[in-house]
Structure formats: C-alpha cells, structure tokens
Structure 1
Amino acid sequence: MGGDGKVFTLAEVSEHNNAKDCWLVISGKVYDVTKFLEDHPGGDEVLLSATGKDATDDFEDVGHSTSARAMMDEFYMGDIDTATVPTQTKYTPPKQPHYNQDKTSDFIIKLLQFLVPLVILGVAVGIRFYNKSA
C-alpha cells in the first residue's frame, strides 16, 4: 500500500476497529494491519484491542524484532494528526503528607507494645537474681 503523506485524525483511525478493517497508530504513524491480523504472532486480539488509541506503548512494551519493525512499512497509511491524540498522562505518586500526628501516636503505641514486655521481663529477671543473692 504505502502512505502518500496523508494525515489522519484519531477519530478517522478509530473507525477502523474490527477484524475486517483494522488500523493502528504507532509512533505517530497510521498502519492498516487488516491483512496482517491472521499472521500476527501475538494473535489478532492484541491488535484489535489497540485500535482507537495511541498504541505506541503497547507496541514498544512487547519488544518487537527488527524484522517486525521493517515489516510495518508495507502497512503504512500515513501520519496521525498528533493534536487529535490525547496526551498520555505520566503517573505521579501522590504527595506524602508532611507531619501526621496520628502516625506518630501509632508509632509510639507500637514502640510501647515492644518495650513494655521487655521491661516486665527485665524486672522479672532482676527480681529473680535479687532473691537468689539475698
């Protein structure tokens, strides 16, 4: 097929989302993988599940071979209009609360649960030795 420099919107690409007509967006390029569905080593389900979105991360996470990447050229249709693709949000961990009084009291309780039995044991051992020496 080969692309002719055509630019597609994500909405246009999303219309091609079934086994008879399947397009994917990978690294800013649009691919018609309909003819490849049966031959895809990972099965057609993974390709079909990647329609309607930017499938670059899905493609890269699998670790495709150089020959697989070269094969993509024959399915190339054109480029995606990046303005139509929602930006991927990076995961940012929630901010940790600064100083939490409740956590401190939990820590003190756990510390006391550990120390009190040791003190009792120490007192018992001390009394035993005191009684033996008296």
Structure 2
Amino acid sequence: MASDPKIYVYEEVAKHNKTKDCWLVINGKVYDVTPFMDDHPGGDEVLLSATGKDATNDFEDVGHSDSAREMMDKYYIGEIDVSTVPTKRTYTPPQQAQYNPDKTPEFLIKILQFLVPLLILGLAFVVRHYTKEK
C-alpha cells in the first residue's frame, strides 16, 4: 500500500460503477476491482451491486478467506473521505409495465378479444343449423 494514500470523495468513487470500471469502498479504503471482475467467484454482479455505497457489510457478511483479504492489497488505490459517504443509499424501484389490476397477461387479453366473437358466431351457426326445420 502507498505510504501517502490518495483521498477520494464519494462522488468520484460512485462514478466507477460498471463492469469495465468498478471501484469499491471497504473499511474506508478504495479498491479498483476492475481487473478482478471476470475472476470473482460470485460473479461481477456481486461486485457491481456493492458500488455506490460503503460495501464493508457486504464484504464482511460473505466471510472472505484470509487469502481473499490479502488479494485486496493489489487493488487498493486510496482512502475514502468518510464525511462524503451518504449514510443511506437511495432506493429506486425498477420500472414496471402498465399496471394490470387482474394480473391477466396482455397476450391473453388480445387472444380472448379475438376468440370470443368467433366462438359466439360459431355457436350461433350451430344453433341455427340444428334448429332449422327439415
């Protein structure tokens, strides 16, 4: 590790949140884990989900081995200015399709709109055909 570490503000670290450019904050330290994305045993999604926040709890909850902790040294790039890290991450819910109160899939509605008139016509034809006087 560097003897005089660079200090990063949260806004700078949070910009690095892609597979080809991924930084994490763990225990007040900033790591550029971009070269490790393809090799991470949990996949790159795990690392990406830890961007934009203090990922210490995420890291500790997994119970990483001593060798994993030693490996972090080669990805260390500096320290985070803890006063710039938000205490809470803002949750943005995923965008959803138009609300359908009865939960009926749209394709089923379209099929029924086509089939119901055909069934009524077919039933009318059958009734007319068999009730005709011969």
Normalization by structure 2: what TM-score?
0.62
Q: Is 1:71 aligned to residue 71 of structure 2?
A: yes
If you compute each CA radius of gyration, which structure gives the higher value, 1 or 2? 1
Indicate the residue corresponding to 2:5 in structure 1.
5
Match of 1:15 in 2: 15
Cα distance in 2 for residues equivalent to 1:32 and 1:67: 18
Equivalences for 1:40-119 in 2 at 5 Å?
A: 40-87=40-87
Q: Distance in 2 between matches of 1:85 and 1:20?
A: 23
Report deviation, 1:87: 3.0
Give SS of 1:77's match: strand
**Greater share of residues in helix:** 1
Give structure 1 stretches of 5+ with no counterpart.
89-134
Match of 2:39?
Answer: 39
Shift, 1:86, TM fit: 2.2
Cα distance per residue 1:24-61 (max 9 Å; x no partner):
00000000000000000111000011101000000000
SS of residue in 2 equivalent to 1:57: helix
4+ residue runs over 3 A deviation = none
- What is the CA RMSD across the aligned residues, in angstroms? 1.2
Q: Secondary structure at the match of 2:54?
A: coil
**1:71 is matched by which residue type in structure 2?**
M
Q: For residues 9 and 55 of structure 1, what CA distance do their matches in structure 2 show?
A: 15
> Whole-Å Cα distance in 2 between the matches of residues 17 and 43 of structure 1?
15
Shift of 1:80: 0.2
Q: Percent identity?
A: 70
Q: Distance in 1 between matches of 2:65 and 2:76?
A: 17
CA distance in structure 2 between the aligned counterparts of 1:45 and 1:53, rounded to whole angstroms: 15
- Cα distance in 2 for residues equivalent to 1:59 and 1:23: 13
Q: Distance in 2 between matches of 1:85 and 1:78?
A: 15
The whole-number CA distance in structure 2 between the counterparts of 1:65 and 1:46 is 17
- Give per-residue Cα distances to partners, 1:53-84, cap 9 Å, x unaligned: 00000000000000000000000000000000
Give the corresponding residue for 1:28: 28
